[in-house]
């Protein structure tokens, strides 16, 4: 779970979502680097399925205001 102090919202997330958010931290990374870091942390292969899952997670995190999208 993630508590957002500014809004007072609590966000419940699965392991992949939490790993994605923690990997992003305060730095901007491109998707291939992000996938590599997450795969290494969770001991998963980098695959199209992981890429699709992380892309969806990034969209949901951006929609929730937890990250800023760098896509213009």
pLDDT-based confidence at residue 56 (cuts at 50, 70, 90): very high
pLDDT at 3: 45
- Judge whether 18 lies within some domain: yes
**Residue 17, CA atoms < 13 Å, CB-side half-sphere:** 15
Nearest to 60 by CA among 12, 6, 7, 27: 12
- Judge whether 57 lies within some domain: yes
pLDDT-based confidence at residue 70 (cuts at 50, 70, 90): low
- Judge whether 6 lies within some domain: no
Range of the domain at 42: 14-63
- The predicted-structure confidence for 8-45, as pLDDT tens digits, reads as follows 555 577 889 888 888 887 577 889 999 999 999 999 99
For the chain, the domain total comes to 1
pLDDT at 37: 92
């Amino acid at each position: 779970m993630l508590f957002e102090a500014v809004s007072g919202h609590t966000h419940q997330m699965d392991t992949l979502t939490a790993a994605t958010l923690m990997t992003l931290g305060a730095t901007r990374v491109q998707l291939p680097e992000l996938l590599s870091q997450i795969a290494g942390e969770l001991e998963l292969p980098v695959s199209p399925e992981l890429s699709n899952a992380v892309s969806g997670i990034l969209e949901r995190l951006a929609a929730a205001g937890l990250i800023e999208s760098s896509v213009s």
